[in-house]
C-alpha cells in the first residue's frame, strides 16, 4: 500500500524564508500548497500614515503578494489568498493601540503570531484538510515524544522569542523548515532554485503593517498629548509630543542637545504627563533586578517553589540568569540578581532552558530592589 503524503500549507509572505520553506518541504516529500495572508488594508489613510502613494504605485503588501505569486508559479504550488483584516484589527491592532494608550510599549508581533498566523490561519488550514501548517520562522518544533519549541539554529536570526505565546497544540501542528538553516544557506538555496526574491531584504516594522513613520502612524489613531521632559531631579529640559511615543532607553528623536553625553529616556510619569530623561546610556535608573510578568504562557515543567532558567527581556537582548517564582496561574515574579537594562512594561519576558523555549509573558511592573521604576 502506498503511504499517503502528508499535506502542508505554507504561509507564503513573499519573502525568501517562506519561499525556501516550500522548497525544503518538497524535498522532504510533503504535498505542499501555499497561502498568502492579507491582514492589513493598506489602502486606508496612507496619505496621513507617513506612507503616501499614488494610484499608479503598488503598496508594499501588494508587492509581497506579487512576489508570492511568482514563487508559487516557479515552485509549482497552488497559492491561496485569504483576508484576515477584521481578525487582525480586533485581536491584534486594538490591543496594540490600548497598550500605547496606557503608555506601555507592546510587542504586536507576538500577539500577531498567537492570534493570526498560528490561530486563524491554522484553523483555516485544518478546515481545508491539511495536516500541518509551515512558517518561515527561524525556530524548531519537536513533536515527539514531547511537544517542544526550540531556538533556531542560526543564533543571529532566531525568532523563537516571537513565538512564546504559542500553545503546545499549535506547535504540534506547525513545521519550521528553515529552523535548521542559517540565513546565508536560505539565500543560497533560493538562488539555486532561481527565485527572484533570493536577495530580497528582510521585512521590518510592525507585523503586517510594515515600515512607517511610526509617530505619524500612531497620531492617526491616538491624539497627541504634549508635555514636559524632565530629569530625575525635576529640571525641565524640553517638550515631548506625547509620552506614548517614546520607549525606555530610547536615544534618538528626543530633540535634546547641548554639551555632554547624549540624552536617554529613563522613564515616564503618566500622572504628570512627564517624560523622564538623563545623560549617558548607563544611568543607574535604567537598571532593575526584579519584574512582575503576567499573561504567562508556560510550556515547560510545572513551576514548584523557585525555578532557575534564563530569560530574554527583548528580542535582541542577552540571556539573563533568572529565578522564577509563581504568584498565580498566569503571573510570576522574576528575579535577576545581576541586573538588566531597560526591562520595559508591555514587552515580553521569554524564558529558556538551553535551546528549549519554556514560555513567555508580558512585563507588567519593574523594580530595583523595593523601588518601582516609573517605566
3-state helix, strand, coil in the chain (%, to 5): 25, 30, 40
| Cα–Cα distance measured from residue 373 to residue 297, given in angstroms and rounded to the nearest whole number | 25
| Closest to 18 (Cα-Cα) out of 30, 6, 36 | 36
| Active-site residue, from 59, 112, 164, 309 | 112
Q: How many whole angstroms separate alpha carbon 188 and alpha carbon 190? A: 5
Q: For residue 97, what are the contacts with CB-CB under 8 A and spacing of at least 6?
A: 221, 222
Task: At 56, list the grid cell.
Answer: 499608479
Residue whose cell numbers read 532566531: 158
State the Cα–Cα distance between residues 365 and 344, nearest whole angstrom: 8
Cell reading at 190: 533560493
Cell (9 digits) for 195: 527565485
Please say if 164 is a catalytic residue. Answer: no
**Do the Cβ atoms of 247 and 344 come closer than 8 Å?**
yes
Q: Among this protein's residues, is 59 annotated catalytic?
A: no
Q: From the candidates 59, 164, 207, 309, which is the catalytic residue? A: 207
How do beta strands 348-353 and 148-151 pair? unpaired
Cis peptide before 97 (omega within 30 of 0): no
Residues noted as catalytic: 112, 207
Amino acid at each position: 500500500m502506498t503511504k499517503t503524503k502528508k499535506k502542508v500549507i505554507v504561509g507564503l509572505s513573499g519573502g525568501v524564508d517562506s519561499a525556501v520553506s516550500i522548497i525544503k518541504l518538497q524535498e522532504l516529500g510533503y504535498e505542499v500548497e501555499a497561502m498568502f495572508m492579507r491582514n492589513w488594508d493598506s489602502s486606508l489613510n496612507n496619505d496621513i500614515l507617513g506612507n503616501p502613494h499614488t494610484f499608479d504605485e503598488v503598496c508594499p503588501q501588494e508587492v509581497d503578494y506579487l512576489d508570492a505569486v511568482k514563487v508559487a508559479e516557479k515552485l509549482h504550488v497552488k497559492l491561496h489568498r485569504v483576508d484576515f483584516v477584521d481578525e487582525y484589527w480586533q485581536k491584534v491592532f486594538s490591543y496594540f493601540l490600548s497598550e500605547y494608550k496606557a503608555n506601555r510599549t507592546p510587542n504586536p508581533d507576538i500577539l500577531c503570531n498567537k492570534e493570526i498566523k498560528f490561530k486563524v490561519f491554522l484553523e483555516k488550514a485544518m478546515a481545508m484538510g491539511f495536516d500541518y501548517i509551515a512558517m518561515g520562522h527561524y525556530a524548531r518544533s519537536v513533536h515527539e515524544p514531547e511537544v517542544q519549541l526550540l531556538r533556531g539554529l542560526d543564533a543571529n536570526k532566531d525568532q523563537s522569542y516571537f513565538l512564546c505565546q504559542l500553545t503546545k497544540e499549535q506547535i504540534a501542528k506547525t513545521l519550521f523548515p528553515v529552523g535548521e538553516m542559517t540565513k546565508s544557506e536560505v539565500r543560497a538555496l533560493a538562488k539555486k532554485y532561481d527565485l527572484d526574491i533570493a536577495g530580497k531584504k528582510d521585512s521590518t516594522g510592525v507585523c503586517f503593517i510594515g515600515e512607517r513613520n511610526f509617530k505619524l502612524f500612531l497620531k492617526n489613531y491616538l491624539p497627541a498629548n504634549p508635555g514636559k521632559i524632565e530629569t530625575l531631579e525635576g529640571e525641565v529640559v524640553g517638550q515631548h509630543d506625547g509620552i506614548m511615543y517614546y520607549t525606555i532607553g530610547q536615544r534618538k528623536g528626543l530633540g535634546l542637545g547641548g554639551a555632554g553625553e547624549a540624552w536617554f529616556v529613563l522613564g515616564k510619569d503618566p500622572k504628570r504627563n512627564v517624560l523622564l530623561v538623563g545623560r549617558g546610556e548607563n544611568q543607574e535608573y535604567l537598571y532593575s533586578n526584579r519584574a512582575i510578568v503576567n499573561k504567562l504562557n508556560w510550556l515547560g515543567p510545572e513551576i514548584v517553589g523557585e525555578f532557575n532558567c534564563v530569560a530574554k527581556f527583548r528580542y535582541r537582548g542577552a540571556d539573563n540568569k533568572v529565578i522564577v517564582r509563581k504568584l498565580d496561574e498566569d503571573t510570576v515574579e522574576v528575579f535577576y540578581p545581576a541586573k538588566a537594562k531597560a526591562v520595559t512594561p508591555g514587552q515580553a519576558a521569554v524564558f529558556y532552558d538551553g535551546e528549549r523555549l519554556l514560555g513567555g509573558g508580558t512585563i507588567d511592573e519593574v523594580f530595583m530592589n523595593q523601588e518601582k521604576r516609573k517605566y
